[in-house]
Amino acid sequence: MGRMVYLRRTRTQTPFGDYLDVILAERKQSVRSFARLVGVSSASVTTFKRTMPPKERIEPWADALRLTGAARQRFFELAWLAHTPDFIRERYAELKSEVEQLRIKTARKRK
């Protein structure tokens, strides 16, 4: 028998995980330092970026990051969307796109 090869499986991050990376990069903060700030392991933060953040941690994390305004709203949106079924996320993305197209069309008519 041949030698068994184990492939390391990697999961892509959720949009929430990508957004958290952007926030941390803008603040020049590492996952490890963020994890310490919110009282979890860096491995847990990495897992949450690939799956979904625990519901009870979404608001405390936004508070710890001192997010306000649109950044806070986007953080909540992506965190809660991570908890929704795929078909709902897909429909939500379609509707957002349709709304944006309508905004563009309306803006052109006003000019």
pLDDT at residue 10 in the model: 52
Residues 49, 16 contacting (CB under 8 angstroms): yes
pLDDT at residue 12 in the model: 86
**Type of residue at 31:** V
d(CA 73, CA 93): 16
Residue-level pLDDT, tens digit, the chain, 111 residues: 455 444 444 568 889 999 999 999 999 999 999 999 999 999 999 999 999 899 999 999 999 999 999 999 999 999 999 999 999 989 999 999 999 999 998 888 887
User: Which residue's entry shows tokens 């009282």?
Assistant: 39
Closest CA to 20 of 69, 68, 72: 72
Residue 85: exposed, middle, or buried by beta-carbon count in 10 A (0-12, 13-18, 19+)? exposed
pLDDT at residue 8 in the model: 47
